[in-house]
Chains A and B, each alone.
Chain A
Amino acid sequence: MKSGALHCAGKELRVRLRDRWALLMWLLVPLTIGGMITALSDGGQPQPTAQLLVVDEDDSLISGFLISALGQTGDAELIQAESVSRQEGQERIEAGDASALLIVPEGFGDAVLNEQPSVLQLITNPAQQILPSIVEEFLSVLTDAVFYLHRVFGNELKIITAQIDALAPGESEVFADPMIAQLGVAINNAAETLVEYLDPMALELAAAEDEAEEASGLTFALVFFPGIIFIGMLFAAQGLSDSFWKERESGTLRRTLVSPLSLTEIFLGKLLSGAGLLFLLSAAMTTIGFVYHGLSPASWLPAVLWLTLSGLVLYGLMSLVQLIAPTRKSASLITSILIFPLMMIGGAFFPFEALPDWLKTIGIWVPNGYLLERLKAYLFYDGGINALATSLPYALAMAGLLWMLCAWRLKAFAGRAE
């Protein structure tokens, strides 16, 4: 029995591995969908950056604050500030070599500290549409920030500026200890007066965040990733299940039935070879996804084994349809039609996170939906390995039931091959 089953499995694997187009398609379909979703989620393009040329003719503490802040646009790095001379700046902006040119005039710092009007000059590149607007908007926010900085710490800034101005050329900027203490106390007092305005805002922001998603660090592409592998599994299951009809139509099934090989060995051969192929496919797709998304390698093997088991459930489901269908054409049609609702409501094409609650409730009762939801619980949420372990009996029961039904149908199916 064992030898015959392995003999059949070896043949099945050889046949399948020769069909390189089918294998390629099973890999390409999910990879293409995954690539498209990733491209949609992050644009797939380099982040555009506004090149801002800055001419600092004031060279004061306040102008220094402003220019430093221009380069602090977070991880996105929307603005890249570069200090240039007025002449270089004008030449480059005329040549279209930057998004904008900012000129901070001499006396800007004094004007701010003395509450006098001052004009910042921003020359934008007319050849660009969006990036100069970003610079303009950000600069507008910064000037407001400078205004409020002055309102809160105006006196302290005056003291610091005066101390710097009093330094002799070449002297290092050293403040006396009493002055540092005085400034520290003044800044602390100012900050305490602001606490009652700032703290409630911070609390409100914290309450508005989705703690689960924040904790898991899920991105749009990552939410799709397990579902995309399930799409590949569904197509692979459909392709594998066609072998029953292929063998019947070519006459090899009939020929095998008159050999000493038993129906059970033929059946086990298909099951074993299917498991092997599904393992290889899920390993390939999972590896790509894990590397791209930077997931923990420790989760790789449980995920691949779960996906293989899921693939066997789907292979069993598709095989059952094939073995019940009266003709190969109808079998192909029914399995093709079946794939799409399974993908749609089973969380593969549209992730459960994006489905309305009522549809999600239905989706997790679909075999692939249940298996996918468990995998996500393991990979992304706080289910841990228990999410898979506690569901393993159900998954095995599903696979067992479907394949037992297939074995039962295969007798009648083979009988029709006479």
Chain B
Amino acid sequence: MIVVNELRKQFGQLVAAEDVSFTAKAGQIFGLLGPNGAGKSTTINCIAGLLTPTSGTVSVKGHDVVSDPLGARRTLGVVPQELALYEDLSARENLRFWGGAYGLRGQQLEERVNTVLSQIGLQDRAGDKPENYSGGMKRRLNFGCGIVHQPDVLLLDEPTVGVDPQSRERLLERVRDQVARGACVLYTTHYMEEAEALCDQLVIMDHGKIIASGTMDELREMMGERDVLRVSGRFDGQAVRKAFDGMAGVEVLQVDADVVQLSAETATRRLPELLGALAESGADIQETTLARPNLESLFLLLTGKALRE
């Protein structure tokens, strides 16, 4: 459904995306992860046709976004991160407009609007303007406007930002519905647990390049049989690094003044050894957490920085 091949996008001297290649298939949720400035938005904008690639190709359901932009746009549904809604129009009117923008008219449009209103749980408030909605309701309407025309390819850019848990769960269910009917979903998020729970395939980007890709299991394998030990307190960065320098099977993922993260083989059994080394470095330990490796720790391992930085 989405084929990105050696995409490169350059703004003056700045290379925002370089050698980006991946394929997202129908019936699949494809996660695109990375911190701000990693090149996610540039990649998505190239797919959506808002940006023209400097080189490389992007096609959506067989339509090249440069040579056949209208064909590509007809297959797309986009849910932007910002609440791109008309505040002066009711939820129903917003859905009507966006459905109409994709060519739906008359009875077909009305049926789709009613279905989506029901799916996003706003049928009782369909006549209200978004300005009277809670943040979660606005997010649901924002999502509804992107799926009203039942797109084959759905681009979701951080669709659950600032959403309460109930609305988030409802939204994620609707995303799964789209996949169940055969749509291809490209999903970007900062919520690692959300990506882990939702995505079938993942790409992690940093500095405009793909630094890791695969299924969740494949990415976990990159971490090996390592656990992540997170310790909070007060630390001397240099002393901590020195304490673990050369210690077999231990890698320092992150050292800040108040947080240290370590990746260690069989960390459960080696906990006294690890905490002892930290204590010897002069650390004032307040809290420790031992976790299975996740996307966050993988990102730390690959880039040396947290995903949310």
Contact = CB atoms under 8 A, between A and B. Distances in A.
B112 to A, nearest CB: 15
A251 B93 contact: no
Nearest to B93: A14
Contacts of A261: 101
A252 B129 CA distance: 15
A19 B88 contact: yes
Contact of A254 (B74, B80, B145): B80
A418 B50 contact: yes
A15 B80 contact: no
B88 A18 contact: yes
A250 B84 contact: yes
Interface in B237-261: none
Given A250-B83, A255-B78, A255-B80, A260 B73 contact: yes
B87 interface: yes
Most chain A CB inside 10 Å of its own CB: which residue of B70, B97, B101: B101
Contacts of B70: 260, 262
A251 B161 CA distance: 15
B88 A259 contact: no
Given A14-B89, A19-B88, A257 B98 contact: no
Interface in B75-101: 76, 78, 80, 82-89, 93, 97-98, 100-101
A7 B86 contact: no
Contacts of A259: 73, 78, 98, 101-102
A11 interface: yes
B53 interface: no
A260 B74 contact: yes
Contact of A260 (B83, B88, B93, B101): B101
A57 to B, nearest CB: 78
B48 A258 contact: yes
A276 to B, nearest CB: 16
A256 interface: yes
A252 B101 contact: no
Chain B contact-residue range equals 20 to 34
Nearest to B145: A255
- Chain A interface secondary structure, helix, strand, loop or mixed? helix
Contact of B86 (A15, A257, A262): A15
Contacts of B50: 254, 257-258, 418
Interface size on A, as a range, is 20 to 34
Contacts of A4: 101
A7 B89 contact: no
Nearest to B71: A260
A260 B101 CA distance: 7
A261 B101 CA distance: 6
Contacts of A418: 45, 50-51
B162 to A, nearest CB: 15
Interface string B100-114: 111100000000000
Contacts of A19: 88
Nearest to A18: B88
A255 B84 contact: yes
Interface in B35-84: 45, 48-51, 70, 73-74, 76, 78, 80, 82-84
B89 A260 contact: no
B140 to A, nearest CB: 16
Contacts of B103: 260
Interface in A252-284: 252, 254-262
A197 B251 CA distance: 122
B89 A252 contact: no
Given A251-B84, A259-B98, A259-B102, A18 B73 contact: no
Nearest to A255: B84
A4 B103 CA distance: 8
Given A260-B73, A260-B103, A418-B51, A7 B97 contact: yes
B188 to A, nearest CB: 15
A252 B86 contact: yes
Contacts of A18: 88-89, 129
A262 B93 CA distance: 20
Contact of A250 (B76, B85, B98, B145): B85
A251 B86 contact: no
Given A250-B83, A418-B51, A258 B88 contact: no
Contacts of A258: 48-50, 73, 76, 78
Nearest to A265: B101
B157 to A, nearest CB: 10
Nearest to A6: B100
Interface string A1-24: 000100100010011001100000
A250 B82 contact: yes
A11 B83 contact: no
A20 to B, nearest CB: 10
Nearest to B87: A250
Interface of A: 4, 7, 11, 14-15, 18-19, 250-252, 254-262, 418
15 contacts: A4-B101, A14-B93, A18-B88, A19-B88, A250-B82, A251-B84, A254-B80, A255-B84, A256-B101, A258-B48, A258-B50, A258-B76, A259-B73, A260-B103, A418-B51
List of 5 A-B pairs having minimum Cβ-Cβ separation, nearest first: A251-B84, A251-B82, A255-B84, A18-B88, A259-B101
